[in-house]
Structure 1
């Protein structure tokens, strides 16, 4: 048995001796893979790696907290921004040393090192090193031995949790805006220490956070005396800028605080529009949670501040209306008006001017706020008599006539009509001030004066077209009355003269069905019959006053007083004569086809357009819904010629217009 073994071994040895020698030589002299810094093995937080320095070469890294005398191997770990601990304290090991470097393998910078870990339960000859790391920085770890020792080991990496980021308002440049009445919560933990000018109290080392408040010109109170504050606080307030802070106020301890006198409260007066920078920090190194309340005096409770008002500049003139008055409203004399606590109402004194106040008049304009505080300004306006016709009357140039109509707003109600129009048997040329008459009615006037050779009179006619049916009565204030009749549209008219005594300057025409009668009077009491004629006309016609020139060149002016009418339009809507009447315009009028209705004043309202003929019948009805456009066009081309009424209606108001279809 022994000889066989010997032979076998000898045979094996003879044939494989070179192989065995080579294997034994590799095992005895191979270097660890991480022998060099350039080949450092990566280790991560929480990881334990086994290694050896046997057969490692000596590293000329220099001393780093411990001397470098034995061969070593290399590891590398990436910084977390927190503490890192590296340890060889385990059951596997020898008398180790640890050295930690930053930089690069070609330019190592010592961070820390350790020889003996006296707290290691396995052996105090093991090593442990702890250092604060910078996030993302690579650290090189050299595991080597005491004296010339080498051996096997286990390397463990333990990392502390990275620190929380600082608060968003850690720096003055990141100050968070707070407002009066607001309470904010936060923490100064992880905040950096601030170096700011002394302001009622000094800097601390525990870190602080920043807020900012825009002043309203009244006192403000900033307080950390709240249940949510957990540490010994300080508070400082600055104006200026983050790069140039100027002390406004500061406080360390609020001795009146019911929670703790170590909490802070500061009171200061603010300037309107100025930004105040608020630093919340702790005494010495104290930090923690806080609750900051911001209170400001309420400028509107109580509101004892007057509003502000200025009157408009420049020359202002107003014209009295036909009723002889003008009423100021809205903001027409106001340049600007405001109140810090809300809206203001505007009033005028005197609110209404009249014929008794013609010329310069001082108007006091007052702004009143919700607490009855007032401010006033005054404006001198020029009050002039007006000449506009009363709302119920229209002025119409018939034929080639050109004319004017005025109604002086002061004095006896007087209508002044002037024209160069001249009527022939076939074509009318006159200036007509008229209003609708539906059904029976009458018109009565006194002709005060008329240009010599001119005519002034009254008329009822079917339409304002030049060839309309008509019945008229006119005077030159001499000894004759003129009667004008056209019984067919575009037919030949007739004019007849009747002698009367001087002074018959009162005229009247009445309508009963299709019968028209004329009268004259010297005094408006005793009336004398002038004519009676039957002319078939529509139910709704036009009646009014008119003037004519005698030669179609010279201007003739007629003056009318004591004007009265009966009849009119049944249930006719009353036109809005308020100075702020809703804006509605119609054009062209008269029209032969399209009629444009500008509905600017009805914007945003559900609106209906109704067109009525002379009999009061609706011939067109258009429900527009909510008006969101400027103009609506009505096509009237298929309607007969005549006078129509256009009613513009919403739930809040109604406007009525007379429309002439030629």
Structure 2
């Protein structure tokens, strides 16, 4: 039922009266109400819809207002007007599940690249994403809390230090890293973890402030599982690198003439005794007796660097008490062209290079062997006298190596006189 509310009220006779005192009313008369033109606003109640007319006076003769009419039907718009936001919810596309979402489907083993100088990036990354991955709730905390979805990789241990990092211009994820060892995904043990880099890694990323990096000393042949995940509940794309350690010749750090590089033989793992004694022309207990085929914690260890020959003189120099260097031509460990013994200031070696030949420089520590009663050890300028049967640890300190164009070339003889 539709009722014109105001029209009905004005169509009624208007009763007017005059008060005649306490006795009643007089001159009661009727007057026709003016007519109005209805509009089409509609009011709805629980039973009916009424047209709520807004009235305007008519200029016609005073007659009853015509009954209201329904508004014309209008078709719904076929498109949203420009500038009007849609009221329909939009759904983001669902990311596909990464193939290495589960530990059992870990990608790898990953390739290991040579370490790089500080401030530079490796030349090999594997790219991945945690979008669409699931959260790994069964492995537990490993260095950092696991709070977001992650993906898995594997790498095989080299027997020396290994470093993983998401430091790359291609990384958008605020990443975390966790490293596990184990024979299978059901028997994982935490090895290392990191969020955003720390002083313990010695690595901060200069291209992504939320990149992560961590390292560990690996066991030769051991399988390691790497979980890349995010801070809080974040997901995203990343690039991951695995660096070996330059205590192996094949992972020597590349240098150019004029470069310097930092290192610390404390992080080296391999005993150089056999190599130096067989290839570089000296025997047991030469160099003040510091080389000795003794316990594993008392053997010479070193880090490798390489430079390409220019056809002119080159020089390698490291200035740190108790540190030596030797140079090999080629990558076969069988052509030690010479080296220099320790002096109080520096260990320096210069040679005539051949163009295009790669030269490998090994910077190594001294093993301070026990000497007869009352004699000093080899590093006599910086250490107190050690007595017979004292225990002396393997020597190690951070060092800086410089490769320059040598001002004077030298002729190298592989005799023991070279090292005296």
Which has the larger strand fraction? 1
Say whether the fold is shared (TM-score over 0.5): no
TM-score (norm 1): 0.26
Larger radius of gyration: 1
TM-score (norm 2): 0.40
Q: Which has the higher contact order (CA 8 A, sep 6+)?
A: 2
